[in-house]
Structure 1
């Protein structure tokens, strides 16, 4: 019987084939010197001014559990590519190196390392696919959700996206990323229970359709779930609003909100709000959903639509407008010597690094600088150790801490960084003179 999720003893095989073939080649050449690999992205996705780094602390901890049980090595042996002695070496594999990361929820910019690994080159190489897959997903989801939350301008945003997300893993892990980004609740029951997020939902059109009378369907649901949200647009939205008024005002049923899911959401919200207010039902909130993204949310609020909350699904859960991040996991040092790549458009700065975040006298964030790891600055160092010599050294941080870090930092940054339009000028990220000198030295050596 096949299981739905990769098992813990399979995780090391969840990798690209060339990671294992390169590992065997390193092993055959007795290349065991320490290496530094840096994970970063070269450019922001379209119309993004910042990304929220998410997933890097979790995957760093996961790395400490990687192993190759004998049963999995027997499966690997069926590929016919690996020598028995190498498979025996893999059976004893445990990560023994160091990992520095940006704390979960850190706003991050191009070329700034989200994660750096220092370990024997075989060990560090074997991590590439796993850490990229893990961080790519959560960073994209958290960053997209952050934009929706910014557009909602303080109004709650609920995750409705599970049904159209790219697989169960994305739907589940997305809930944690959404918490970091500031979403209020999720319709995903397992995600809510696993990550301690509020579970929230309304009703489907099918519940209304299954009853002969829409008002009776509303009545039954509201009696069963006091304070519930009722869906208005199965047949006639305004007629449904009048039915809600009768149930709330005349029968005293506790109806917390109504949801609009189709049509001209702004115009319908105004009409429904007017009806409710005239009936003295100011307490009933209006929530909207249906193909929303950050631009639609912003446009509705810019038009003064009386909307109290948003249910956002497909566009956010699929990151429809920018579904990829230009992540790279690159060797920047081997055996104490700088290593780089100088391909057009993919130039690399060598060496282990630190990222510093600078503030002015009022506490406003002004810019970042990427430096060599040993350099010091009168600023905040962003990369922190999570794993040292194969052991976890940083306690797991609650999601609330990652959320607070993200939003406290964003609020201290230039306003353009938080905007939905391209920031002009872009946020400033400097590279230290020492790093540039190291790059020039490495280029001269390999020229």
Structure 2
């Protein structure tokens, strides 16, 4: 019997299981606090967008080892009877605080915090990073395209380039959170309720005796404002054929919705198509562009005045090709009520259980993020600012029902509106934004370093 990757407890690094056994043998089961954050932003990013929390919470709620899982571990050898018995009955019993999906964040800021008995908190590390990291990568890439598009329609075309089925589905979800209008992936539409869009392929045109025949056949098969691909052979000639066909289709009650360009000089072809369509009284027919599109090309096309109404984005979105991975980590910050600190060169951690406080300037835009110890945030002398980490799970159970994608998407739109102009551009800001580490965290780190040295 196989288990879906969504719920498979063995979808983890083996060392999580070997450490769990060692913790049990040592009796180390007191409360631990781990925080998931990104050490540094890629050179190509001014900000990131948190995503993947829903999948992370589903994983924690459903975490359980099946009899087949236990039998497989037993066959591997090296796992004690005590450890296997522990895994048989294991359920996640911890608390989770997290930034709501769609929240803009920066380097060093914890976006998810797990408080649980040490063996449990350690075990879930790999899958939590796997889920939150990937959707955050794609949502952050998609948000840049949303900002570059200035309200033009954006559709995810990434299935065929995504690194596997789960990646394709979660990429569609993350892109929709960030502001994309929909996806071409049918299963993402069914699973998440994302609007789905479909046009036609070059092969459809090639399979017919002529472009005119192909356009007419597709329009009759999909009569609700079809979008027709016009660059299989000669774009200008194809648009002229479409203009000639339009009156015939209209007499059948079919109005063309749009034309799609997928290759060549998209700007020049869009201008030619727009002129021909307008001359024929088809000003309401939109122009949709795809083919190796990313935020830089979108921004350049629109800055040059290209009359493009929407974009289909595939490879650059689903693989986040310019920044395919983040330096995302899940680190122990406290155990048994005592702050912990990693001191490795270049990978040192800020110790203690933390909160992120965000302040806005007089212009209503993000001015300052402060990372503060949670114990000081809860006091009456709490610094000004909104606390970004919010409780979402207690004792292994959600505090509230899952937020709808529409709610998450609206939250992300509000977050992107808070970005200062210098951070909205595709290119990197001259002065990167960094969160302020509070004096109390600096002092705690110095104390722990002094203790470690003697």
TM-score between the two structures when normalised by the length of structure 1: 0.97
Which whole-Å CA distance do the structure 2 matches of 1:324 and 1:439 have between them? 28
2:296 aligns to what SS in structure 1?
helix
Runs of 4+ in 1 over 6 A off after TM superposition: none
1:306 alignment partner in structure 2 = 307
2:422 alignment partner in structure 1 = 416
Per-residue displacement from partner, 1:373-416 (whole Å, max 9, x unpaired)?
12222211010111112221132111122222222122122111
Quote the offset at 1:349 in angstroms: 0.6
**For structure 2, which runs of at least 5 residues remain unmatched after alignment?**
377-381
Which whole-Å CA distance do the structure 1 matches of 2:237 and 2:109 have between them? 55
2:353 alignment partner in structure 1 = 352
1:318 matches 2:319 = yes
Which residue, 434, 439, 442 being the options, matches 2:445?
A: 439
1:371 aligns to what SS in structure 2?
strand
1:387 matches 2:388 = no
Conservation of the 8 A alpha-carbon contact between 2:249 and 2:255: no
Which whole-Å CA distance do the structure 1 matches of 2:243 and 2:311 have between them? 22
Conservation of the 8 A alpha-carbon contact between 2:292 and 2:314: yes
- Most deviating of 399-408 and 196-205: 399-408
Which whole-Å CA distance do the structure 2 matches of 1:92 and 1:236 have between them? 65
Count, aligned residues: 444
2:226 alignment partner in structure 1 = 228
Which whole-Å CA distance do the structure 1 matches of 2:337 and 2:6 have between them? 36
2:379 alignment partner in structure 1 = none
Which whole-Å CA distance do the structure 1 matches of 2:326 and 2:363 have between them? 33
1:369 matches 2:370 = yes
Conservation of the 8 A alpha-carbon contact between 2:97 and 2:393: yes
Conservation of the 8 A alpha-carbon contact between 1:61 and 1:386: no
Which whole-Å CA distance do the structure 1 matches of 2:57 and 2:198 have between them? 34
Per-residue displacement from partner, 1:71-106 (whole Å, max 9, x unpaired)?
210111111120112101111111111111110111
2:369 aligns to what SS in structure 1?
strand
1:12 aligns to what SS in structure 2?
coil
2:286 alignment partner in structure 1 = 285
Quote the offset at 1:7 in angstroms: 6.4
- Most deviating of 419-428 and 46-55: 419-428
- Most deviating of 332-341 and 385-394: 385-394
Conservation of the 8 A alpha-carbon contact between 2:102 and 2:415: no
Matches within 5 A, 1:88-107: 88-107=85-104
Quote the offset at 1:153 in angstroms: 1.2
2:241 alignment partner in structure 1 = 243
**For structure 1, which runs of at least 5 residues remain unmatched after alignment?**
none
1:130 matches 2:127 = yes
Quote the offset at 1:364 in angstroms: 2.7
Conservation of the 8 A alpha-carbon contact between 1:61 and 1:392: no
